[in-house]
Amino acid sequence: MFLLKTEHSFDAAHFLAGYEGKCRNIHGHRWRVVLEVCGTALKTDGQQRGMLVDFSHLKQDLREVVDTFDHTLIVEKGSLSAALDSLLRQEGFSVTEVPFRPTAEEFARYFYEQIAARGYDVARSTVYETPANCAEYLGKAGDPA
């Protein structure tokens, strides 16, 4: 089994609606996304001979997905009042709404699914919220047998 890793980072703010603690307030992170793809067969001909996947393609695909969150305020759908959302956007702030609570765990699953949807055999998605704290999503590989 071959395992390839690549990573990309983004800077963004978020908050956890309904959370009793400091994270209920808007705060920012330098989020680090580490993606691992796997496979057993290397390409046998052409420019990609001897490769599982072309790193340049994998890096570009991850960058495209991750960069949609760079320098935005990430909010869970419905967590801002319509008036506040409108005011933030009117003032020129970039607000990115997601259909999940913006936790490291949910982002790990989100990035896994987004890259898998682009045709990669994703083994693991890891999202670091801080240099010392991360969440991993293994997809079906992590399901108990």
For residues 2-18, b (16+ Cβ closer than 10 Å) or e, as one string?
A: eebebebebebbbbbee
Catalytic residue (choose from 23, 97, 105, 106): 23
In the numeric block, which tokens belong to residue 1?
């089994």
Catalytic residue (choose from 20, 64, 71, 105): 71
CB atoms within 10 A of CB 36: 20
Catalytic residue (choose from 8, 29, 76, 129): 129
In the numeric block, which tokens belong to residue 132?
């010392």
Contact (Cβ atoms closer than 8 angstroms) between residue 26 and residue 73: yes
Q: Is 8 a catalytic residue?
A: no
Contact (Cβ atoms closer than 8 angstroms) between residue 3 and residue 26: no
Q: Is 129 a catalytic residue?
A: yes
* 15 closest CA partner among 80, 109, 102, 94: 102
Q: Is 23 a catalytic residue?
A: yes
Give catalytic residues, as residue numbers. 23, 71, 129
